[in-house]
Every structure is written in structure tokens, then in C-alpha cells.
């Protein structure tokens, strides 16, 4: 059976470039910032990562949907991205213990997508523009001029505060209450696998909503603080920047990942900026400047820390750099017990070169 009985769909880019393909998922219209992920596997983990909130994902691997979906492989309570663009989409799956097809999963979660697109050509076009673009996917609006008008109304990711939207609304606990360490997690869009990496290291967690004040977190008397990943522009996430500043003022152990990394920089007066295309995939090379070793890393970010501003603060040290473009991938404070990385050491589904960072954080709690 063909996906959606070969119903046509269109992808319209902000610059007026458009593509015709086949509809997948729900019949409808969706919009967001278009970005591409170079990972060869792990599509369900990508789609449920809260950091992708508000984005349309182009999967560059040729086949999507082959192994279906499983409930226990989600990185959050549900789908977080806005829409899918892919080359070949399968509405049948081969994994014997899969829970459902990706097509059924998309229909259940209201996700609009498009397949039969030359994703190699599309990614080359996106990269050549030198700027991130917004896009619209529709399998119900088939008029090109109407789609050109629709894409004009999609807001830019720059200046958007999104973490409070995807964050938990109520605090909750994870792990064993008898664990050695108590860690307060500021949920800005945290992934489930990050929390698992902490609880399996003898940590009892209390996960707080994004706009929780430091005073509220401190009242729980944690041994340390974790600042999570999440979507949106770090520069306008001012409430979280203030929380990070308060944690630093009391010099409590702190670890930040992705957005948490950017917020640690912003809290120290180091600005962040919107990248032309961002880093998204499971194959990004990073060098640890402390050990001299290189790591293959999992990444998902569209903003970065300004490397030129770091030398102005003698207390901030760059610990990791991206070997593709020399962007900042990690920092630590010389005068505080705090460090952060831009990439994802939990690396679900992989690779696991950077898992040592969780051990490093737990060591700091002692």
C-alpha cells in the first residue's frame, strides 16, 4: 500500500523555492524552521526531543520508518517537532517488537510530512543560502501562491522563548529517595535519556519547571544542579539566565547541556548567536582540549556561544571545540564548580563517546 494513496504534498521554503512530493502522516498543513539531521538512525528519538520544538526536520538518511516505533524509545511524553521531510518513507515496519508503524504514529500525533523529496539537493540548497529558513508543508493547500503567503507568517526562531512551553508544568521526582546524591534539574526541554543517566549514577532527581526560581530549587537542599537542553533562543530565556547566575553565586556544582551550556555562557556575559544551519546529527567530531582526545558526538542546536568573547573573561575556559568549524562545544569556570557542553553526552541512540561527562558531574557532587 502506498503512503496516503499517493496524495500529493508541497514543501515551500521562505525564499520561494518549492518541492512537490507525497504526503505522509496527517493530511494537513504545518510550518516551522527547516533544519536537517544527518543521523543514520534514531528517528523516533529525534522526533520526541523537545529541543526540536517548532522545527521541520529533513532526515538526510534515505529510508525513514523501516523499523517502526516503540513506546520506550521516546525522549519525552510525545512528539515535539513540527513536520517531516524525507526521501523514502515506509508505512510498514520490520521490527518484531515494534509498537506501530511510523505512519500510524504520525496520524495519532497529528504530524504532517512529505516524502519523495530529493533531500540531498534540498540540503545543499538550504546550506547554500547561508541562513536558516522557515518552511511550510501542506497536503491540503496545493496552490503555490497561497503557500508563498503562508510561509511569510512563520515566526523566526531568533528571539523566540520556547522552553517554558515544552517544560514540565509541575515538579516531579525520579530515582531512589535513598540515593547518595540529590540533583535539582531545571527542565527547559530535558530528554528522558539524560534523566536516566543521572538516576543510574546514584542520583535522586527533582525535576523543576523552566521558570522555577533558584530559591525554590535551593529549598530542596540538592547537592548539585543540572541545566537541561531545550528549544528557542538562549538570549531571551532571561528567567533561566537569572537562575544560573544565582546558582553560580553560591558556587554549587552545576552541569549544563546544549541550551544549558548556552545559558552558562550568557550568565557570564558571553553572548550567543544564531548559526547559519546549526549542528544536528550523530556524527559530529569534537576535541576535548583538556584530555587531547577526540569524540564523535550527538548534536542538536541552532545557536552557539561566541568564541571571540570568551578570552575577555579570565574565569571562563574553553574545554571542547568542534573539529568541523571550531565552534565552542564546552566550557568550564575556573573559579566555580560549573561546566557545560554544547552537544549531547547521553547520545540516544548513540554514539557514547561522551558518556564520561555524567561521571564527571557526579564526581563534582562529592
Query: Is 266 known to be catalytic?
Result: no
The single residue of 261, 284, 301, 344 carrying the catalytic annotation is: 344
The single residue of 161, 258, 266, 279 carrying the catalytic annotation is: 258
Nearest to 343 by CA among 297, 293, 304, 294: 297
- Angle, helices 238-249/259-267, rounded to nearest 10 degrees: 70
**Sequential DSSP letters for 128-140:** HTSS--EEEEESS
Q: Which residue's C-alpha cell is 534515505?
A: 62
Query: Is 346 known to be catalytic?
Result: yes
Query: Is 352 known to be catalytic?
Result: no
Gap between the Cα atoms of 147 and 10, Å rounded: 9
Give φ, ψ of 51 to 5 degrees.
-65, -15
Kindly list the strands in the beta sheet with 328-333, ordered across the sheet, starting from the edge strand earlier in the chain. 172-174, 203-208, 181-186, 224-227, 254-257, 338-341, 328-333, 316-322, 272-288, 294-305
Gap between the Cα atoms of 358 and 198, Å rounded: 7
Burial of 77 (0-12, 13-18, 19+ CB in 10 A): exposed
Residues recognised as catalytic:
258, 344, 346
Amino acid at each position: 500500500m502506498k503512503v496516503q494513496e499517493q496524495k500529493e504534498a508541497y514543501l515551500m521554503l521562505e525564499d520561494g523555492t518549492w518541492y512537490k512530493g507525497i504526503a505522509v502522516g496527517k493530511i494537513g498543513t504545518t510550518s516551522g524552521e527547516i533544519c536537517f539531521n544527518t543521523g543514520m538512525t534514531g528517528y523516533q528519538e529525534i522526533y520526541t526531543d523537545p529541543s526540536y520544538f517548532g522545527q521541520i526536520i529533513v532526515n538526510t538518511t534515505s529510508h525513514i520508518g523501516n523499523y517502526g516505533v516503540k513506546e520506550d524509545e521516546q525522549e519525552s511524553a510525545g512528539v515535539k517537532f513540527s513536520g517531516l521531510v524525507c526521501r523514502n518513507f515506509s508505512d510498514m515496519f520490520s521490527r518484531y517488537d515494534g509498537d506501530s508503524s511510523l505512519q500510524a504514529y504520525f496520524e495519532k500525533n497529528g504530524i504532517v510530512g512529505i516524502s519523495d523529496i530529493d533531500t540531498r539537493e534540498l540540503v545543499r540548497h538550504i546550506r547554500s543560502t547561508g541562513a536558516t529558513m522557515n518552511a511550510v508543508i501542506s497536503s491540503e493547500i496545493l496552490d503555490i501562491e497561497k503557500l508563498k503567503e503562508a510561509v511569510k507568517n512563520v515566526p523566526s526562531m531568533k528571539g523566540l522563548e520556547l522552553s517554558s512551553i515544552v517544560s514540565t508544568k509541575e515538579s516531579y521526582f525520579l530515582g531512589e529517595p535513598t540515593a547518595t546524591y540529590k540533583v535539582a534539574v531545571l527542565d527547559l526541554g530535558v530528554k528522558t535519556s539524560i534523566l536516566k543517566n543521572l538516576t543510574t549514577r546514584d542520583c535522586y532527581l527533582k525535576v523543576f519547571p523552566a521558570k522555577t526560581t533558584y530559591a525554590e530549587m535551593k529549598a530542596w537542599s540538592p547537592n548539585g544542579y543540572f541545566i537541561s537542553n531545550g528549544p528557542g533562543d538562549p538570549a531571551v530565556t532571561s528567567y533561566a539566565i537569572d537562575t544560573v547566575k544565582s546558582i553560580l553565586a553560591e558556587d554549587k556544582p552545576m552541569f549544563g547541556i546544549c541550551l544549558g551550556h548556552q545559558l552558562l555562557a550568557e550568565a557570564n556575559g558571553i553572548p550567543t548567536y544564531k548559526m547559519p544551519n546549526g549542528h544536528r546529527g550523530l556524527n559530529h567530531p569534537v576535541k576535548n582540549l583538556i584530555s587531547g582526545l577526540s569524540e564523535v558526538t550527538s548534536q542538536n542546536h541552532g545557536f552557539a556561544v561566541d568564541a571571540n568573547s570568551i578570552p575577555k573573561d579570565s574565569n571562563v575556559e574553553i574545554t571542547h571545540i568542534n573539529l568541523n568549524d571550531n565552534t565552542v562545544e564546552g566550557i568550564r569556570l575556573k573559579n566555580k564548580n560549573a561546566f557545560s557542553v554544547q552537544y549531547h553526552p547521553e547520545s540516544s541512540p548513540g554514539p557514547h563517546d561522551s558518556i564520561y561527562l555524567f561521571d564527571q558531574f557526579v564526581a563534582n557532587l562529592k
